[in-house]
Structure 1
Amino acid sequence: MDTQHPLLPNGYSTVPAGKIANVETHLEMLAKPSLKSLQRADASLSLERWQSPGTDEYRSLFRAVGEEWMWTSRLVMADDKLAAILSDPLVEIYRLMDGDRPAGLLELDFHTSGECELAFFGLVSSTIGKGAGRFMMNRAIDRAWSQQIQRFWVHTCTHDSQGALSFYCRSGFTPFAIKVEVTDDPRITGVIRRDAAPHVPLIEV
C-alpha cells in the first residue's frame, strides 16, 4: 500500500458526532472544448474582473454564494493570508453582476505552471435559472485557455448542488479522482448559520 495515499477500507466508516464527511470529485479538461451555446441568458448579466477586493467585501459575496454549500475556507482564513490571495496577480477574481447587484463568484488560480484551477464558481440563489451558470462557465473556459495551459481543473463535492457534477461534465471536464474529507461541522463551530445546508444532516456532539 502507498503509505502516502492510504486506501479507505471497504465497508462503512463511522464519522464522529460533530464532524461531517464530504466526498470530492476532481475533474480536468485537457483541451479547450467547443463552448456550449446559451439557451437563455438574462440581458442583465455581466462578468467583471474584481481587482484586489477588500477582505470584508469578498467574504460577504463568498458567504452569499457558498454558505448553503458549506463553503468555509475563506471565512476562517486569516485576514493577511486572504488579502495576499486577493491581490495575487496569479489569481483572477470575477464577479457576476445582475444589473448592479453582485450575483456570482468566479476565481481562477494560475499558480501551477501550465495549469489553471477553477478555484471557486457559484451563484447566489436568486440568479439560478437565468442562464447565469452557462454564461459564467463559458467565460471561465475562454479566460483559462487564453493562457498557455495544458490543463484546466476543478473539484466539486457532495455538499455542493446535486447538479454541479453533471454541469461540469457537460462543460467538458472529466472526473479523474475521488477523495473523502472529514472536518468539523461549521454550523456547530459557528462559522456558518446553524440552519445552512439542510441537505447535510447536522448531528450534535
Structure 2
Amino acid sequence: MTDDQQRPEGTDQAQGGSAPEEGTPRVTDKRRIDPETHLLREPTPDEAAADAAAADAVSQAEQAVEGAEEVVLMEGLVEAQTLAAERLEELQRAQAAHYNLEQQYAAYVKRSKVEAGAAHERGVASVAEALIPVLDDIELARRHGDLSGPFASIADKLEATLHRFGVERYGTEGEPFDPAVHEALMHGHSADVTEPTVQQVLQPGYRTAERVLRAARVAVVDPEG
C-alpha cells in the first residue's frame, strides 16, 4: 500500500486550506483594522454586501418609523380638528340659545310694559267715564254761578286729580268742527264762518292721550252758500 493510499481522506483539503469539513464553524473576520499592519482593511465583497444590506434595512426601518409617526400625527390632527369643530358647533348653539332667550326676555319686558300701560289707561278711562255725569253737573253749576264755598274747592280738586291722570276736558266755541272729537246736536249756517265751526258747546268733551271718553256735544254752523 502506497503513502497516498494510506493518507486519510480529507487530509489534503484540510492542509491545503480548502473548504472545511461539514459541521466545522465558519469564522468571518469583520475587523476594519488589520491586526498586523494596523491599517484600514478593505471589506470583502461579502462584507460590503452585508453592510449595504444592513444600511438599507436601517434606512427602511427609519422610513417606516417616520411613516408611522406621520400617520399618528395625521390621525391626531384629524381627531383634534373634529373635536374642535364639535366644540365650535356646541358654542354656536349655546350662543344662539342665549340670543333667543335674550330676545324672548326683551319681548316679554316690552309686552309687559305695553300691557301695564294699557291696563293703567283702561283703569283711568273707566274711572273718568264713571265720573263724567258728576263733571257735567260741576260744569253746569259753574256756568250758572252756583258752584261756591266748599263744593267749589272739592270740584277743583277732583278736576285737578283727573287732569293729573291725563283726563282732559275740551271743547270751545269758535274752533273748527271735527267729527272725530265733536258730536253735532244742532246745525245752522252763518256768513261769519268759512268752514264748519263750533258755535256753542252744549256739553264739554273728555279725553285721554289715547282715546276720547266722550265727544264734545256742540252746535255747528256752516258757511252760507
Identify, as 1 or 2, the structure richer in helix: 2
TM-score of the two chains, using structure 1 as the length reference: 0.19
Q: RCO higher in 1 or 2 (8 Å CA, sep ≥ 6)?
A: 1
Whose Rg is larger? 2
TM-score of the two chains, using structure 2 as the length reference: 0.17
